């Protein structure tokens, strides 16, 4: 018999188009209950954190994913989501029980392998034509060292936050079976539709 988490994974992936692969307390979401999105994290926990700027001097941190899972082994079929956001822990030195550690998680053990598998899994569950946003705060580890962990090529990015160290980087998943057409690499190439492309596009078939 399937567990509630497994059944939730199947139904969730069928019903929603967006995956947050490690949602934490969903701080960056406009709507923390966005109905289009399936929220995943390996933690499911609540903490009361001291916070002088909050009424009462404390605030609650709630990590309550729809599906509790590890992004190195996502419990979803391949090509399930149109959009994936991947915002893994980015600090090695904050200590798992510190305020920052509770909010963002901590990199420990063989974290490079963990992130390598996380990227691979996020791309596996992404539909061809789908997009992925990777977020990385480079306070401790430069973003270039992390991008080496995936063979995927980023499209473009934006830096934000204090000292512009938080990177938001966009990727797209193209069709694996279709190598770039030779003519697209030639100078002066103009991307007009060829016969058959329009039909294929309307059927959702990628012909690149
Ligand atoms: C930087 S925080 C995400 C913050 C989130 N984007 C937000 O807006 O609040 C990273 C999260 O990754 C989770 N995490 C760490 N390793 C994980 C793994 N292997 N699988 C799933 N989640 C993981 C941590 O529990 C933590 O909540």
pLDDT at 204: 41
Query: Could you report how far apart the first and last alpha carbons of the chain are, in Å?
Result: 42
CA of 88, closest atom in ligand 1: 10
The answer to whether the beta carbons of residues 32 and 26 sit under 8 Å apart is yes
Q: How far away, in angstroms, is 174 Cα from ligand 1 center?
A: 26
Residues 6 or more apart in contact with residue 208 via CB below 8 angstroms: 174, 175, 178, 180, 181
Question: Does ligand 1 lie within 6 Å of residue 89's CB atom?
Answer: yes
pLDDT at 208: 34
pLDDT, tens digit, 9 for 90 and up, residues 6-46: 777 777 777 799 999 999 999 999 999 999 999 999 999 99
pTM of the model: 0.84
Q: How far away, in angstroms, is 208 Cα from ligand 1 center?
A: 34
Backbone angles phi, psi at 116, to 5 degrees: -60, -45
Domains and CATH numbers, the chain: 4-174 (3.40.50), 179-208 (no CATH)
CA of 25, closest atom in ligand 1: 9
**Residue with the nearest Cα to atom 24 of ligand 1?**
105
Question: Does ligand 1 lie within 6 Å of residue 80's CB atom?
Answer: no
Neighbours of 204 (CB within 10 A): 9
CA of 28, closest atom in ligand 1: 8
pLDDT, tens digit, 9 for 90 and up, residues 145-201: 999 999 999 999 999 998 999 999 999 999 765 555 565 556 665 554 444 444 443
Backbone angles phi, psi at 104, to 5 degrees: -110, -10
pLDDT at 10: 73
Answer with the residue of higher pLDDT: 14 or 136.
136
Compute the mean pLDDT over every residue in the chain, rounded to the nearest whole number.
86
In the chain, the percentage of residues whose pLDDT exceeds 90 is 67
Q: How far away, in angstroms, is 151 Cα from ligand 1 center?
A: 22
Query: Over 70: is that where the pLDDT of 119 sits?
Result: yes
- Count Cβ neighbours within 10 Å for each residue of 99-135 and write b for 16 or more, e otherwise: eeebbbbbbeeebeebbbbbbbbbbebbbbbbbbebb
Query: Does an H or E element contain 167, and which?
Result: strand 166-172
pLDDT at 99: 83
Q: How far away, in angstroms, is 103 Cα from ligand 1 center?
A: 8
pLDDT at 13: 75
């Amino acid at each position: 018999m399937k567990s509630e988490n497994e059944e939730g994974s199947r139904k969730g992936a069928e019903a929603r188009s967006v995956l947050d692969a490690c949602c934490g307390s969903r701080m960056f979401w406009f709507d923390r209950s966005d109905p289009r999105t399936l929220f995943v994290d390996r933690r499911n926990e609540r903490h009361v954190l001291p916070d002088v700027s909050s009424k009462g001097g404390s605030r609650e941190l709630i990590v309550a994913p729809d599906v509790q899972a590890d992004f190195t082994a996502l419990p979803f079929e391949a090509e399930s989501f149109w959009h994936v956001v991947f915002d893994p822990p980015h600090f090695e030195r904050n200590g798992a029980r510190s305020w920052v550690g509770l909010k963002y998680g901590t990199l420990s053990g063989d974290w490079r392998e963990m992130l390598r598998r996380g990227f691979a899994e996020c791309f596996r569950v992404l539909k061809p034509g789908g997009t992925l946003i990777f977020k990385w705060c480079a306070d401790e580890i430069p973003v270039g060292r992390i991008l080496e962990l995936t063979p995927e090529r980023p499209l473009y990015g934006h830096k934000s936050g204090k000292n512009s160290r938080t990177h938001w980087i966009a990727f797209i998943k193209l069709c694996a079976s279709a190598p770039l057409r030779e003519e697209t690499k030639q100078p002066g190439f103009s991307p007009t539709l060829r016969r058959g492309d329009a039909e294929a596009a309307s059927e959702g078939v990628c012909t690149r």
